[in-house]
């Protein structure tokens, strides 16, 4: 692994507006969830948006411990570090028969772009 976690990119103007400093711990909250992240302030993301790198914050893939054939297999917390963008997603408002993740109709992937979020310093 190149780095142990994924800081969240915030435009410099947005950071100033919300009182966020480079390196601050921030809370990011959407209608579907809330995560804590390290703020990386700069000009590499469009004003009004945040950038979250995928592939972090795993609950499985070696991050969680399991018992296999009666033998305890410990998890590696290093693999669970960082922000999992899926934790900010929310249920499909068109599905009334069951709770289901909101999916893009073209790719079938979870909706991740355009999620409304609120950012606060912790």
What pLDDT does residue 108 have?
76
pLDDT of residue 11 exceeding 90 = yes
| Residues spanned by the domain of 31 | 8-121
Cβ atoms of residues 102 and 89 within 8 Å: yes
| 56 located within any domain | yes
Number of domains in the chain: 1
**pTM score:** 0.80
| 2 located within any domain | no
66: nearest Cα among 58, 76, 56, 57: 76
| CATH for 43 | 2.40.40.20
Taking only the tens place, the pLDDT of each residue in 75-98 is: 998 888 999 988 888 877 777 787
82: nearest Cα among 28, 7, 2, 1: 7
Taking only the tens place, the pLDDT of each residue in 46-65 is: 999 999 998 899 889 899 99
| 3 located within any domain | no
pLDDT of residue 110 exceeding 80 = no
| 64 located within any domain | yes
| 49 located within any domain | yes
């Amino acid at each position: 692994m190149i780095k142990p976690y994924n800081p969240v990119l915030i435009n410099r103007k947005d950071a100033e507006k919300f009182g966020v400093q480079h390196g601050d711990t921030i809370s990011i909250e959407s209608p579907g969830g809330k995560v804590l992240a390290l703020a990386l302030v700069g000009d590499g993301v469009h004003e009004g948006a945040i950038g979250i790198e995928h592939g972090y914050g795993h609950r499985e893939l070696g991050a969680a411990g399991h018992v296999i054939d009666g033998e305890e297999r410990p998890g590696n917390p290093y693999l669970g570090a960082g922000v999992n963008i899926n934790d900010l997603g929310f249920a499909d408002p068109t599905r009334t028969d069951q709770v289901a993740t909101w999916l893009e109709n073209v790719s079938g992937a979870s909706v991740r772009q355009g999620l409304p979020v609120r950012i606060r310093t912790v």
